[in-house]
A and B are shown apart, each in its own frame.
Chain A
Amino acid sequence: MNEPGEQEVIVVIDDDAAMRLSCRKILAKAGYRVETFEDGAQGLEGVARLKPGLAVVDLKMPGLSGLEVIARVHQLDPLTVVVVITGYATIDTAVEAIKAGAYDFLPKPFSPEELRLIVGRALERRRLVLDSRRGEMERELLKRRFVTFVSHQLQTPLAAVHQYLSVLRQLEDLGEAGGRRREWIERCLKRSEEMQTIIRDWLTLARLEGDRLVRQCARVDLRQIIPNILATYAEMAAAERVTLEARLPEEAAWVRGDLNCLNVLFDNLIVNAIKYNRPGGRVTISAEALGGEVEVAVADTGVGIPPQYQEFLFDEFFRIRGEGAKKTAGTGLGLSIAKKIVTELGGSIAVVSEPGVGSTFRVRLPAWREPAAEEGRDGSAA
């Protein structure tokens, strides 16, 4: 699991030399980098210097007590997990250690297997905490600095264009630009277009505020607009070797909506389903009437969305990165636009996804009702 150079560091603090030696042997064999210290003061120095992911601390030591060491380790870094070992394991000492912030407790004597297991679990927990803190922190930043993020989105392509031009100017004067000029001009044009797309999406999102949209609502037949959108993206799908398939009801599926917005909505979902698919994959769009609503499902056979990202998916500018995530030229606004449209129209949108299998976006929109029927909305059955 560990890549070279990415070894997890473990500090062992124990006054018993034999115990230090065996901990070191067991954990080093399991692939960790281990440093041992014979008392609390030296151990804490080591923790400050090495910033370990985990500390194994003996409870009963001369000098600083194990409990004090735990507290101070956490002062240095609250995210260092501490596993406590001791020769006299009573419920009381265990409770005390855990109150002091220890993650777990290992009574002596223990087998190598027990030590490895507990250390593995403790580090796993640390990773989870780190991941979720990271997610929270990023989301918080995103919210707090929303305007800043918009500016960043716009500045990024502009910075690239500016940098190409400034390097070209500098090097042209010295005759060093070589054959780059032509290629860089092309890239500048591309980045300018990217900026236009972002501004366009951003405007779309801003315009969806308010009730203007709802006033424009009319009767729209999904059986008509969906095949049109699919036709628009047939070429793109073919290029990505993705098959498009529609499963539409026999009879008309009328919803209450604005034609433009519905086009933008399904455009976004279908483009995503193509883009985040795999070669040889499939996109299936189905619609069905469910009481007073029509449900449209857009299903792909793509990379899927890791569970920890699903709740952020409709946030503005949210994009999944990391392994399996493609570098795509999206603006990160597509799904927020989709969500906004659906919400304004009085519907809902949700996603079900399994990494490696695919994702399904389900949109529910209010079915069209004749204005006459709308007026007499007393809820009583006719």
Chain B
Amino acid sequence: MTAEPKKILMVDDDADFSEAVSFFLEQRGYAVLRAQDGREGLRLARMERPDLILMDIMMDERTEGLFALQEIRRTPELKAVPVFVLSALYEKAPDFRIAPDSVWMAHDEFISKPVDLAVLLEKIRRRIGPQAPQEDPA
């Protein structure tokens, strides 16, 4: 019954933001790994093979998250991992015209910051399954 909790990797340079969100997700039964920049995020992604990645686009005032996303898509063993792209800047997925290969995949989502916790949780559950011991819908 008690399966391993699903692993979520959160890549965000804002320690406060990721603390708040990861604490919330942990309370909902997920294991959350945190990285503060794209490079560290990639390293953790390759090492830990998370079930889902939350990736901030703008880190250190650059679009580092998009480069990290591109690298993730170039890594064969990470291709299938859904990536939720987060940004405080856009309401919908931005078009940066930087991706010759299809960086954006059907299982990816765009979520604006600050995140609506109920919406985030719902989207995560839909992708990688409910990890809520107390309220497991059939």
Interface residues of A (CB under 8 A from B): 3, 5-6, 50-51, 77-78, 134, 137-138, 141-142, 148-149, 151-153, 155-156, 158-164, 166-167, 170-171, 176, 180, 184, 187, 191, 317-319, 321, 327, 332
Contact = CB atoms under 8 A, between A and B. Distances in A.
Interface in B36-73: 36-37, 42-43, 46-47, 58-64, 67
B89 interface: yes
Interface stretch (B1-9, B18-26, B123-131): B18-26
Given A163-B115, A170-B117, A138 B62 contact: yes
B100 interface: yes
B106 interface: no
Contacts of B14: 156, 159-160
B113 A180 contact: no
B75 to A, nearest CB: 8
A134 B30 CA distance: 34
Given A160-B14, A160-B16, A51 B63 contact: no
A6 B43 CA distance: 8
Given A5-B43, A170-B24, A159 B114 contact: yes
A67 B57 CA distance: 39
Contact of A162 (B27, B98, B114): B114
A77 B16 contact: no
A148 B47 CA distance: 35
A180 B22 CA distance: 13
A5 B24 contact: no
Interface string B90-133: 00000010101100000000000111010000000000000000
Contacts of B23: 167, 171, 180
Contacts of A176: 27
Interface residues of B, number: 35
A161 B27 CA distance: 19
Given A159-B113, A162-B114, A134 B20 contact: no
Nearest to A184: B20
A152 B27 contact: no
B133 to A, nearest CB: 13
B67 A163 contact: no
23 contacts: A5-B47, A50-B76, A51-B74, A51-B101, A77-B100, A148-B89, A152-B61, A152-B88, A152-B89, A155-B89, A159-B14, A159-B114, A163-B115, A164-B16, A166-B20, A166-B114, A167-B20, A167-B21, A167-B23, A167-B117, A170-B24, A184-B20, A318-B61
B43 A166 contact: no
B101 A159 contact: no
Nearest to B63: A141
Nearest to B74: A51
Which 9 residue pairs across A and B have the least CB separation, nearest first? A160-B16, A5-B46, A162-B114, A163-B20, A155-B88, A321-B60, A159-B114, A159-B113, A167-B20
A163 B43 contact: no
Contact of A134 (B17, B21, B27, B67): B67
Contacts of A3: 43
B50 to A, nearest CB: 14
Contact of A156 (B19, B20, B88): B88
B3 to A, nearest CB: 21
Nearest to B25: A167
Nearest to B58: A152
Contacts of A51: 74, 101
A3 B71 CA distance: 15
Contacts of B46: 5-6
Contacts of A191: 16
Contacts of A151: 89
A77 B114 contact: no
Contacts of A160: 14, 16-17, 20, 114
B63 A138 contact: yes
B51 to A, nearest CB: 18
Contact of A167 (B24, B43, B63, B88): B24
Contacts of A171: 23-24, 27
Given A6-B46, A51-B74, A156-B88, 7 more contacts: A3-B43, A155-B88, A166-B20, A166-B114, A170-B117, A321-B37, A321-B64
B60 A159 contact: no
Nearest to A138: B62
A315 B3 CA distance: 51
B20 A332 contact: no
Contacts of A161: 16
A150 to B, nearest CB: 11
A163 B63 contact: no
Contacts of B117: 166-167, 170
A123 B114 CA distance: 40
